[in-house]
């Protein structure tokens, strides 16, 4: 596995690969790799001959009161995991290499980015869209793999790629879960044992929603309210938002119509750790 830190060198390496007709897939991460990231690499390997992983903790997607400075950065460990997973190139630039002095152009994500995580984290998706665009320009992949765990991020990126005619296939990969059902996340390391146990309520909520929809209930707002109450009853947790949305527009759906796709979005706090989870349901 080759480690590259300079955008120009990464672009030169990719240029050669493309001349040799190599199919390239990229997995973008902020490091602190876990099983979820490794499943993205596996997916990338299944569709491309060359896999690039990027590790970059992007300052532009963190708010001033968020955990940018204490975000875990175990680089040596990450590099070992990436190598073992079969990554061919690890692109790990410094913030100065990505945002050199004078940098001033950003992508403004549209309406999909406004609710939910967008409301809670103003500017977050503009930061994501900007860095994803830059990383696509630097790694020039045929495909880019993103986890469904960050469903709103995935929707923003899909929309952006379509809107800006970016020539790349965006491939999604399912949420990876711990035994308890808790979605794996780099931030899970901040959870105490009790909080971790309680946090599985997000997954229990998703399962409960599935059972209610199987009964052909159409009152999505009421189901979401029941899940919210379920999270409220959990000692270590408090809900942030629970809502069904139309999967394309990310607009809240109150009532289900037949033959449609709705995504249940859940965000909740376990202590000071904010967790998100989601599932797509078909009616």
Residue ranges binding ligand PAF (CB under 6 A): 28-30, 58, 61, 128, 131-132, 150, 153
Pick 62 or 244: Cβ nearer ligand PAF: 62
The tally of CA atoms less than 13 A away on the side-chain side of residue 73 is 12
Pick 28 or 245: Cβ nearer ligand PAF: 28
| Active-site option among 34, 37, 108, 142 | 37
Pick 228 or 274: Cβ nearer ligand PAF: 274
Q: How far is the CB of 236 from ligand PAF (least distance, A)?
A: 25
Q: CA 5, 168, 72, 79 torsion: positive or negative?
A: negative
Dist CA 177 CA 138 (whole Å): 31
Say how far residue 148 (Cα) sits from the centre of its chain: 6
Q: How far is the CB of 29 from ligand PAF (least distance, A)?
A: 5
Instruction: Using alpha carbons, select from 172, 175, 104 the residue that is nearest to residue 144.
Output: 172
Q: How far is the CB of 169 from ligand PAF (least distance, A)?
A: 16
Q: CA 254, 184, 192, 211 torsion: positive or negative?
A: positive
Pick 56 or 203: Cβ nearer ligand PAF: 56
Cβ neighbours of residue 89 closer than 8 Å, sequence gap 6 or more: 1, 2, 3, 4, 10, 13, 50, 51, 52, 53
**Cross-strand pairs, 237:** 270
Let me know if 142 is a catalytic residue. no
Residues carrying an active site annotation: 37
């Amino acid at each position: 596995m080759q480690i590259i830190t300079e955008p120009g060198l990464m672009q030169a390496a990719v240029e050669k690969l493309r001349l040799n007709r190599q199919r390239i897939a990229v997995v973008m991460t902020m490091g602190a790799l876990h099983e979820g990231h490794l499943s993205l690499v596996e997916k990338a390997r299944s569709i491309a001959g060359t896999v690039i992983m990027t590790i970059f903790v992007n300052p532009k997607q963190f708010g001033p009161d968020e955990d940018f400075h204490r975000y875990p950065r175990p680089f040596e460990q990450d590099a070992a995991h990436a190598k073992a997973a079969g990554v061919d190139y690890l692109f790990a630039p410094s913030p100065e290499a990505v945002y050199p002095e004078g940098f001033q152009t950003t992508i403004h994500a549209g309406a999909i980015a406004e609710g939910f995580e967008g409301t809670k984290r103003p500017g977050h998706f503009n930061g994501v869209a900007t860095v994803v665009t830059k990383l696509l320009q630097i790694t020039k992949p045929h495909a880019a793999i993103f986890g469904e765990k960050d469903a709103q991020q995935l929707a923003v990126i899909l929309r952006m790629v379509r809107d800006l005619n970016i020539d790349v296939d965006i491939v999604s990969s399912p949420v990876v879960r711990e035994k308890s059902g808790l979605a794996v996340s780099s931030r899970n390391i901040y959870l105490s044992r009790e909080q971790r146990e309680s946090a599985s309520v997000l997954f229990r909520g998703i399962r409960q929603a599935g059972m209610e929809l199987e009964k052909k209930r159409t009152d999505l707002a009421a189901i979401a309210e029941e899940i919210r109450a379920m999270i409220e009853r959990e000692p270590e947790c408090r809900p942030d938002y629970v809502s069904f949305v139309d999967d394309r527009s990310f607009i809240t759906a109150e009532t289900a119509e037949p033959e449609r796709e709705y995504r249940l979005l859940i965000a909740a706090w376990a202590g000071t750790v904010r967790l998100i989870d989601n599932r797509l349901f078909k009616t």
